[in-house]
Structures are given as C-alpha cells and as structure tokens.
Amino acid sequence: MARITMRQAITDALREEMNRDEAVFIMGEEVGMWGGTYAVTRGFYDEFGDKRIKDTPISEMVIGGAAVGAAMNGLRPVAEFMTINFAFLALDAIVNHAAKIHYMFGGQFKCPVVFRAPGGGGRQLGATHSHTPDVIFAYFPGLVVVSPGTPYDAKGLLKAAIRSDDPVLFIEHATLYQLRGEVPEGEDYTVPFGVSEVKRPGSDVTIVTYAQGLQISLEAAERLAQDGIEAEVVDLRTLRPLDMGPVLDSFKKTFKAVIVEEGWRSYGIGAEIAARLQEEAFDYLDAPIRRVAQQEALLPYSRELEQMALINVDQVVKAVKEIV
C-alpha cells in the first residue's frame, strides 16, 4: 500500500484510465498547459497531447454540451468544472441531457461522461464559490452522483465512473486534496457505485456521513471513545444510487443516529437519510435523529466567520452526547 494524497489518487486514476482506453479524454478550463486549478492534470498535456487534453473556453455550458455530444458518439470524456458552483451554468446539459439520453432514446444512445467538480467550503472562496449543492444533482434519476471521503475511494470510484456507461458527477471536496490515505500500489481496482461502507465500527450510535464529513466524523468518534461512547461511522460514498443497507444495519444495532453533512440542513441529504430511517426502521428508534449541517447562511469570506458556519468536530460530539 502507498500512502498518497487524494489529489494524487485522482491523478493516478485519470492517467491509468487514459492509458487503458484511448476513448478517454479530458476537457475543461485550464486543464492543459496550466494543469488544472488544483493541479490534478499537471503534466498531462505534455504526456497525452492536445487531442486528448483539451482546454476549453470559459463557458460551462460549452463544456457540458460538448462532453455530452462526445459521449453520445463513442468517446469517454472527463469534463472538469473549475468548481461545482460553475456547474450550475451547465445544469441543462447535465440533468436534462446527460441524465435522460439513455431513457429518451430507448437505450439506443449511451452517455458515458464524467463531470469532475471540486465542491464545498473552507477555502475562503466567498459565497458564490463555496456551495455544497450535492443534493440538487442527486435529485435527478439517471445521473450517478459520487463524493468520496478517502484517497482509496476517490481512485476506485473515479476509475469506475470512467468505465461506466452512465453519466457521473464526481464531486471532490476542495479541502480534501491534501488528505493522505492508503491506496494499493500497482493494483487496478474499482469501487462500485451504490455501496455504503462502515469506516469505523461501534455499538452506541450511528454516524452517517460522506466526503469532508467523514473525516470530521472519524475525529469526533475518536474523541467520543475517550468518554466511553463507541460511534459507528458509515460513509455513503455515493449519493445516487443511495445504499441504505449498512446504515439500517448499524441503526438496528445502535438505535440512535446522527447525520453529518456539509450542506445546509433544510431539504438536504440528512433530511433524506432521517426520513428513510424513520420509514424503514421506526421500531428501532430510541432517540430523536440528530443532524449536523452547515449554518443556514451564505458562507462569509472571512476565515473565522466561514469556519463558524461550517460543520466541525465539536458539533458532532455535542449531537451524539445529546442522544446517548
């Protein structure tokens, strides 16, 4: 096993899939000679050339539309949006075309496109560049939505996304690029969509989370363990398809749940998880389901104020102790 950053895991996945399949190409703003906003594709332009590494105009609708057209005609584009906030400009291409083409044409066309997009707050990028709109995209059937919380999952899920015949939105939390974790060295592996995973076993409370929330939840679980509370942490990994199996299994063992997400509380991923727990495991409910989410406000530019608005370890610990 090699211990690498999430940035390196994503870079390795892209390089391996481009070497494996000549139909894979990358397009987006500054992905070529500049190497991408977060340096994920640095060196790719010299390695693969301008036919497979394409800098695009500053137009997300062009990126989305061209990627969909290329995918319909037999290529496997990986289209990068500089941030997920800019994906709003390509919403029609993503949810009204990519997600629906296979259905609208009765299976005659496929759309094997991957949309990569950094998301989330915590980098002082201001209110218009710090969204966590994952639930908006996960709302639409036909679109796979992935948001990994470890380098291992990032590499495996991205390789699975590139090989998939379905359109995939691959969300990379902007604060996780430097996160290090173990990844198999020299092994060609994928991580399947729609498979949640227990990242830490426990018996007293279930913490359900994903992406940046996973790292916060794992740290909170270690702190809770010092007080004799063993939290089981379940990582969703993909938001559509959503795998509730491990969540329900854990909840039926602990009888209590805290859901941790960086998005806003209202109408969020946490609301969906809470509703399903109530519908599918009501008889196991021993305490109110708690949700830890971002403050319902636009993220400030000030680092101190931004951190006050985002989720943190203390909030998770507090939520757990309220119900245990």
Each residue of 168-213: pLDDT tens digit?
999 999 999 999 999 999 899 999 999 999 999 999 999 999 999 9
**Edge-to-edge strand ranges of the sheet holding 238-240:** 53-55, 24-28, 76-80, 114-119, 168-173, 144-146, 238-240
Q: Return the H-helix or E-strand segment holding 33.
A: none
Q: Where are the alpha helices (DSSP H) in 77-173?
A: 91, 101-104, 134-138, 151-163
Token couple for 175: 């604060």
The pLDDT > 90 percentage for the chain reads 99
Token couple for 231: 């939290």
Cα 209 versus chain centre, distance:
11
CB 220 within 8 A of CB 230: no
pLDDT at 180: 98
Write the CATH number of the domain with boundaries 197-323: 3.40.50.920
Burial of 146-160, coded b for 16+ CB within 10 Å and e otherwise, reads: bbbbbbbbbbbbbbb
Per-residue pLDDT tens over the stretch 223-246: 999 999 999 999 999 999 999 999
For residue 261, report the phi and psi dihedrals to the nearest 5 degrees: -145, 150
Per-residue pLDDT tens over the stretch 103-144: 999 999 999 999 999 999 999 999 999 999 999 999 999 999
How far from each other are the two terminal CA atoms of the chain, in whole angstroms? 37
Q: Which segments of the chain belong to CATH 3.40.50.920?
A: 197-323
3/278 Cα distance (integer angstroms): 39
- Residue 265 pLDDT class (50, 70, 90 cuts): very high
Q: Which segments of the chain belong to CATH 3.40.50.970?
A: 2-183
What residues are labeled active site? 60, 129
Peptide bond into 141 cis (omega under 30): no
Average predicted confidence (pLDDT) for the chain: 97
pLDDT at 204: 98
268/134 Cα distance (integer angstroms): 9
- Return the half-sphere exposure (C-beta side, CA atoms, 13 A cut-off) of residue 256: 17
279/322 Cα distance (integer angstroms): 22
Give the CATH architecture of domain 2-183. 3-Layer(aba) Sandwich (3.40)
Per-residue pLDDT tens over the stretch 64-83: 999 999 999 999 999 999 99
Q: Three-class SS of residue 197?
A: strand
- Strand ranges in the chain using DSSP code E only, listed in sequence order: 2-5, 24-28, 53-55, 76-80, 114-119, 144-146, 168-173, 180-183, 197-200, 205-209, 231-235, 238-240, 257-264, 290-294
pLDDT at 298: 95
Cα 199 versus chain centre, distance:
16
